[in-house]
């Protein structure tokens, strides 16, 4: 499996990672046994990058991924996300407040069964909280040893620049495919 470095000083990961969201929500009924088999097979073929989030299955996905990795946890780069909460009438709300980021991180560490998160993303930029405060809180988690690297998800170029001024951003997760090429215009050049 080819390897890639995230950012200038970020972790090295397999070129193909496994996004685990669909194992807990959105695409049909859960099948934990089948999902664990898929994670184990990914490990067998050299996948070392696993992506989950606190919101996926309302925490279920992190627990599932943590159980599946088990003793192999140290062999992988484990990414999770904070900053999205279920909204009171359905849907989701962004919450990038320092208090929510700290609380979410602690809950993620418990569910994942690990003492450190390799890559913690802010799942969505919170319009109510300046990005400098959100990234500052995440940088604090790095200083505390709870997180190794930080990233952003679906952030605009100006937001990435402001975040980078606070703490190095190792990764940016954005929708990008053959059907959606917009990041080529402004996001990728900033990266």
**Residue 56 annotated as catalytic:** yes
Pick the catalytic residue: 27, 56, 121, 176?
56
Residue 97, class by beta-carbon neighbours within 10 Å (0-12 exposed, 13-18 middle, 19+ buried)? Answer: middle
DSSP-based three-state secondary structure for 61: helix
DSSP-based three-state secondary structure for 53: coil
Cα 86 to Cα 65, 92, 94, 123, distances in angstroms: 21, 4, 9, 13
Which residues carry out catalysis?
Answer: 56
């Amino acid at each position: 499996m080819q390897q890639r470095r995230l950012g200038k000083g970020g972790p090295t990961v397999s070129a193909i990672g496994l996004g685990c969201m669909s194992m807990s929500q959105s695409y049909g009924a859960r099948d934990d046994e089948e999902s664990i088999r898929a994670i184990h097979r990914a490990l067998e073929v050299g996948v070392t990058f696993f992506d989950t989030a606190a919101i996926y299955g309302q925490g279920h996905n992190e627990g599932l991924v943590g159980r599946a990795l088990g003793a192999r946890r140290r062999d992988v780069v484990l990414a999770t996300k904070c900053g999205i909460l279920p909204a009171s009438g359905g849907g989701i709300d962004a919450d990038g407040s320092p208090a929510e980021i700290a609380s979410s991180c602690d809950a993620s560490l418990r569910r994942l069964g690990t003492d450190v998160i390799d890559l913690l993303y802010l799942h969505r930029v919170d319009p109510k909280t300046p990005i400098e405060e959100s990234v500052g809180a995440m940088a604090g988690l790095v200083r505390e040893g709870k997180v190794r690297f930080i990233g952003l998800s679906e952030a605009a170029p100006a937001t990435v620049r402001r975040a980078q001024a606070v703490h190095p951003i190792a990764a940016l997760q954005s929708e990008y495919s053959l059907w959606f090429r917009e990041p080529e215009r402004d996001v990728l050049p900033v990266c």
